Amino acid sequence: MIFQETFSEQGKAIKIATRSRYTHVGIIFKYKEKLKVLEAVEPVKITEIDTFISKGKNKHFVIKRLANSDMLLTEEKIRLMKSIGNQYIGKHYDIYFNWSDEKIYCTELAWKIFKQALNIELTEEKRLKDFDLSNPAVKYLMKKRYGKNIPFNDFVVSPADMFSSKKLKTIMELN
């Protein structure tokens, strides 16, 4: 998995609400012997790793993998993860962070791939109301997207929670 900080209005709000610099995540897979990133943007797609890195602030990124990947990530399981991920390619990005497969956001994509392929939940259950929603930039974006019907009790997976998951270990950090 590769984590980065992005520049968007949404990225700024995520950074504030989660108290973390990381606002985007993708999963690195080999495609025809080249490392590429499966990411949920508009739409879900496979991105060249250099392109993914260049979109992040100061080209900073952190790569993490499962702490016990030697035992769990067999070739068969990696193929299954790719296959599951590939089913999401072309789906629209979910700006509302709903927990459905109709549209999908970055950490939801990663979470679901790990859950479906390996039966691993990378983060604990968290609700939208559990984040710091008090900042004006966060309030503005939520009002813009949800109006008066903010789904405070919806399950949400954040890049910050995934980044700090004890089930992942850092293997590389740059810039």
Provide the pLDDT for residue 145: 95
- Whether residue 125 has pLDDT greater than 90: no
Q: How far is CA 5 from its chain centroid?
A: 11
CA–CA–CA angle 97, 59, 38 (5° rounding): 45
Q: What is the rounded average pLDDT of the residues 109-124?
A: 97
> In percent, how much of the chain has pLDDT > 90?
97
Q: What is the rounded average pLDDT of the residues 11-39?
A: 96
Q: Which helix H or strand E contains 153, and what residues bound it? A: none
132-155 pLDDT, tens digit per residue, is 999 999 999 999 999 999 999 999
CA–CA–CA angle 131, 112, 3 (5° rounding): 60
DSSP 32: T
33-85 pLDDT, tens digit per residue, is 999 999 999 999 999 999 999 999 999 999 999 999 999 999 999 999 999 99
Q: What is the rounded average pLDDT of the residues 106-112?
A: 98
Is the pTM higher than 0.75? The answer reads: yes
Number of folded domains that form the chain: 1
Where in the sequence is the domain holding 85, given as residue range(s)?
Answer: 2-174
- Whether residue 175 has pLDDT greater than 90: no
89-100 pLDDT, tens digit per residue, is 999 999 999 999
φ/ψ (deg, to 5) at 141: -65, -40
CATH at 13: 3.90.1720.10
